[in-house]
Amino acid sequence: MRALVLLLALAAPVAFAAEESVRLDAAPIDPRDVASLQAGARTFVNYCLNCHSAGMMRYHKLTEIGLTEQQIKDNLLFTAEKVGELMNVALTRKDAKDWLGTVPPDLSVIARARGPDWLYTYLRSFYRDRESATGWNNMVYERVAMPHVLWMLSGQQVQVERRFKNMEQAEAIGRQQKNAWKIDTLTPEQAGKGGEQFVLKTIRTEVPGSLSQLEYDVVVRDLVNFMTWMSEPNQLERKRSGYVVLLVLLVLLVFAYLLYKEFWKDVH
């Protein structure tokens, strides 16, 4: 038993030595915010739904975020004829492979695979990188194949590295960042004489886009809000019906309990 505790105690620090990755920002989304969902739908259709499909999503489902069929038809139907169609794109898998090197994933349920926080941080973490094929790289997704499609809005960022002697100091500066940041730890040999082992990586805007950083964050927030809603369009109905079901079950619980006690009162 003591050996077990000892071994577990020895194992613990190894088990929890964290592999360094970007701290994800919490996406400030709200699936009940219809205006935000509609704005997100517009961004999605204009910027994403050219290479990426959302092939399990029907345009008609957008009526559930407050749009009329006419509004959908007038503003959002670029790649389809009827509102009853699925959000597919003209790009075939083979062409995508030839032209882009990889098939852009379908985004219908991507928010459930990646999580809204990941998407929110990812879309705000592109930076210029001469060495990549597209000229762009990403803090969250190293060497991602997708270029920064929203760059005209966000402007162009570059990665900045700062070195620190201790982790706490690096983290303190990191937490003040409005965008993604991460800390790489160097070996003492790599750090050299100064002993500055901790490299804080952040991004800085070099060429401003058409939006301020705050406005851009709102655009991404709305987009992620929409994608999260789209990944499970019935989520609000699910929660609403959940309350009703629980209420009914609680009433049933009272009667089930009373019935049980009534039958058992003579059993000693």
Partner 1 sequence: MAATEKRPVTEAGPFNGLLTWIDQRFPLMESWRSHLSEYHAPKNFNFWYYFGSLALFVLVLQIVTGIFLTMNYKPDAAQAFASVEYIMREVPAGWWIRYLHSTGASFFFICVYLHMFRGLLYGSYRKPRELVWIFGMLIFLCLMAEAFFGYLLPWGQMSYWGAQVIVNLFGAIPLIGPDLAIWIRGDYVVSDATLNRFFAFHVIAVPLALLALVGAHILALHEVGSNNPDGCEIKKATDPHTGIPLDSVPFHPYYTVKDTFGVTVFLIVFSIVVFFVPEGGGYFLEANNFIAADPLKTPLHIAPVWYFTPYYSILRATTDEFVLWVLTPGVIAFAGLIIWSVKNTVLRAAVAAVAIVLLVGFFTLDAKVWGVVLMGVSVMIFFLLPWLDRCPVKSIRYKGPITKAAIAVFVVAFFVLGYLGTLAVTSGRTVAAQVGTAVYFMFFFLMPWWSKMDKCKPEPHRVTGK
Q: Interface residues with partner 1 (CB under 8 A)? A: 1, 4, 7-8, 10-15, 17, 55-58, 61, 105-106, 108-110, 112-115, 231-234, 238-239, 241-243, 245-246, 249-250, 252-253, 256-257, 259-260, 263-264, 267-268
Give the residue with the Cβ less far from partner 1, 57 or 72.
57
Residues 121-160: b if buried by 16+ CB within 10 A, e if exposed: bbbbbbbbbeeeeeebbbbbbeebebbbbbbebbbbbeee
For the bound state, the minimum distance from the C-beta of residue 117 to partner 1, rounded and expressed in Å, comes to 12
Give the residue with the Cβ less far from partner 1, 64 or 184.
64
Query: In angstroms, rounded to a whole number, what is the distance separating the alpha carbons of residues 79 and 231?
Result: 20
For the bound state, the minimum distance from the C-beta of residue 207 to partner 1, rounded and expressed in Å, comes to 34
Query: In angstroms, rounded to a whole number, what is the distance separating the alpha carbons of residues 172 and 254?
Result: 53
Give the residue with the Cβ less far from partner 1, 97 or 165.
97
For the bound state, the minimum distance from the C-beta of residue 19 to partner 1, rounded and expressed in Å, comes to 9
Give the residue with the Cβ less far from partner 1, 116 or 174.
116
205, 217 contact by CB (below 8 A): no
Element (H, E) at 128: strand 126-128
SS3 content of the chain, % helix, strand, coil (to 5): 50, 15, 35
For the bound state, the minimum distance from the C-beta of residue 86 to partner 1, rounded and expressed in Å, comes to 9
For the bound state, the minimum distance from the C-beta of residue 101 to partner 1, rounded and expressed in Å, comes to 14
Give the residue with the Cβ less far from partner 1, 204 or 239.
239
